[in-house]
Amino acid sequence: MLEARNISLSLGGRQILAEVDLRLEPGLVTSIMGPNGAGKTSLLRILSGEWTASEGSVTLNGQPLAQFPVRRLGQLRAYLHQESSLSFAFTVLEVVLLGRSPHMRGGERPEDYEAARKAVRQVDLEDRENDLYTSLSGGEKQRVHLARVLAQLDEPAIGEARYLFLDEPTNNLDLSHQRTIYRIVREMAGAGLAVGMVVHDLNQAIQASDRVVILNLGRIALAGTPEEIVASPELEGIFGVPLRRVEIPGARCPYLVIDAGN
Amino acid sequence: MRGEADRAGNGRRGRWLSAPLLAALVVLGLISLGMGPLRTSPLVVGQVLLEEASLGHWPGEVDPRVATVVMQIRLPRILVAMLVGASLATAGACLQGLFRNPLADPGLIGVSSGGAIGSILAISATGVFLPAGGLLAQLQVPIWAMLGAMATTFAVYHVARIAGKTHVSTLLLAGIAMNALAGAIVGAVLYLSDNDSLRRFTFWTLGSLHTTTWQSLGLMAPFIIVPLLILPRYRNALNAFLLGEAEAYHLGFNTQRTKRMIIGLCALMVGVTVSFCGLIGFVGLVVPHLVRMIWGPDFRRLIPASALLGSILVLAADLLSRTVNAPSEIPIGVVTSLIGAPFFLYLIQRRKRQLNV
């Protein structure tokens, strides 16, 4: 389990996060949502160890995050940034193989290729694995990086709980690939990974999550199951729009639609 | 149409050919040993080498004049050319990785200029900074060059970085500023110099290998060979750096240490090269580009291939510089710039869209 206690962060005198408590548990998908500037990405960076909180502590599998060697962290958690770019002409497969770095000593082993190819298939890029990354569209590039982080965590022998952090994973993606992402996220949780993701699209993410945390002005405004969140009357205040809850047959909980007033 | 062509060539990598590259380097070296005002046939060159290798027990007759030219003038110079080429090309490749920017070149981004500032200040103030004798006195110029190169690399890295990334435009602008500063300092020192130092200083700006001796080779070699041996250890980290510093961290690399080591080792090589041979431009830009075109951007090949191809290029440029207008020499920096500057223009033309930041 990854546990953040009483996290606060100030940058240049500005309070970004205040007294945030959060847990990521194996097998569960936790979505972090909130208005722009609520501190979602900052929180994800702190949970993953990329940034250090001004106050509070993060423990990973019971041990303070700061005590882990960087390489070990690379084996236990992967992070998909909102935007990664690469101006060098690697092939798709070569970029995904970079995800195997924390598991390699020296060169790639057959199992590294296996994990990379499996991840490439998962994001529907198998027919482009030898194409140059630089020749891909924005959405395809985003999927290559997703495959890279999936390959990074595809090491069941590690024997400890693993964590997948996704910052706006559906950015740049068309509807069908957005669906693919949520399917993959569920599969990863099903395989025992703890997933923490920052998402904008409330409805899709809520359907795919086990827990939802809503941040507002750096504090946790709401936390609970998707059903509890959707039902909360506070949502309107947080996002600053009137909302209507629409029942969709077969959906897990009602969809949120902006109420146009008529 | 263009897209089709790109796809056809996608992901195709040339086979890794270290043996032929190495062989080409050795052959070019042997040819260089025979070329110069005193034309020596390959056979005679071979005899001289065997005579030396057998410590004088070789039965053949060797003209001692020829032997002196080959052993005392040409051989050290050729070895220095190889070292200089390897150091500049490898430093270029590694800095491009660190800056995540294929247009980083020790000359363009001001690392060489930093080295020049350091060495010129040290030369013009000999005995002031380090009033020591012996080995330390001979090393004080390289040491100051190295410090200058290191300081500028860190400065440029910090100036050019915006939110974790270096943009081509800010990087090159920072380089222009560094080069202008170096130009001003060199100009001031030149203006205040007497005739003799004037000639010594002019060579910084154009680059030359003509002062090479076995002694200068011995002083340079460790500062180039040691970094060349250490840098390949960072090949995987450099590959990850191409994705971004944060990404490299998440992939399990100690980014701070990697950054410091790369900058330190590159500055060491470039600084020493500049202090002994002056400014030899564009090697660090042209060579890694050629290597990436043939073998792709993976640092596991990029580092050794750049070192080898850099050696070949500088050796060839030096051969040109001392034979085209023999017996007088064209500065080697002129030759590399004549090759490199048009190549740079071609790259800018090709990458126009990316430059529009």
Kindly state the average pLDDT of the residues A112-129: 95
Which candidate from A78, A91, A98 shows the least CB-CB separation from B239?
A: A98
Query: Residue B252: which of A75, A89, A131 has the nearest Cβ?
Result: A75
A56 neighbors A6 (Cβ within 8 angstroms): yes
Write down all domains in chain B, each with its CATH number in brackets: 2-356 (1.10.3470.10)
**Chain A contacts of B254, Cβ < 8 Å?**
70
Residues of A in contact with B165 (CB under 8 A): 85
Helix, strand, coil shares, percent, chain A, to 5: 40, 25, 35
Contacts of A65 by beta carbon, 8 Å cutoff, 6+ apart? A49, A58, A59, A73
Taking the Cβ of residue A196 and every Cβ of chain B, the question of whether any pair is shorter than 8 Å is answered with no
Cα separation, A77 vs A161, in Å, equals 9
Smallest Cα distance from A32 to chain B, Å: 20
Beta carbons of A212 and A187 less than 8 angstroms apart: no
Complex ipTM value: 0.94
Cα–Cα distance, B270 to B113 (Å, whole number):
10
Q: What is the pLDDT of residues A83-97, one digit of tens each?
A: 888 888 899 999 999
When CB atoms are compared, the residue of B11, B240, B253 closest to A132 is B11
Q: Is the pLDDT of residue A206 over 70?
A: yes
Residue among B100, B252, B298 minimizing CB distance to A87: B100
Which is more confidently placed, B116 or A197?
A: A197
Q: Does A174 touch chain B (CB under 8 A)?
A: no
Nearest chain B residue (CA) to A84? B243
Phi, psi (degrees; rounded to nearest 5) at B7 = -65, -40
Listed by number, the residues of chain A in 96-125 with a beta carbon closer than 8 Å to a beta carbon of chain B are 98-99, 101-102, 104, 107
pLDDT digits (tens, 9 = 90+) for A52-77: 999 999 999 999 999 999 999 999 99
Q: Which residue does chain B place closest to A164, by CA atoms?
A: B250
Low-confidence ranges of chain B (pLDDT < 70): 1-12, 14, 16, 56, 58, 125-136, 162-168, 200, 351-357
For position A220, what pLDDT does the model report? 96
Would you state the pLDDT for residue B8? 36
Confidence (pLDDT) at B129: 47
- Cβ atoms of B62 and B47 closer than 8 Å: yes
Does B71 contact A at CB distance below 8 Å? no
Is the CB of B7 less than 8 angstroms away from the CB of A131? yes
Q: Which residue in B7, B247, B297 is closest to A90 by CB distance?
A: B297
CB pair distance less than 8 Å for B252 and A101: yes
Q: What is the 3-state secondary structure (H, E, C) of B15-46?
A: CCCHHHHHHHHHHHHHHHHHCCCCCCCHHHHH
Q: Which residue of A has its CA nearest to B93?
A: A88
Question: In the prediction, which pLDDT does B133 show?
Answer: 59
| Neighbouring residues of B171: CB distance < 8 A, sequence distance ≥ 6 | B99, B101, B103, B104, B109, B156, B160
* A148-171 tens-digit pLDDT: 999 999 987 788 899 999 999 998
Mean pLDDT (chain A) is 92
CB pairs under 8 A between A and B: 84
Residue for token digits 């951007």?
B297
State percent of chain A over pLDDT 70: 99
> How far away is chain A from the Cα of B298, in angstroms, using its nearest Cα?
8
CB contacts, 8 Å: A127 with chain B:
none
What is the pLDDT at residue B353?
A: 57
For residue B252, the chain A residues in CB contact (below 8 A) are: 70-75, 101-102
Q: Which of B250, B254, B292 sits opposite A48 (nearest CB)?
A: B250
pLDDT confidence of residue A233: 92
Give the Cβ contact number of residue B353 at 10 Å.
Answer: 6
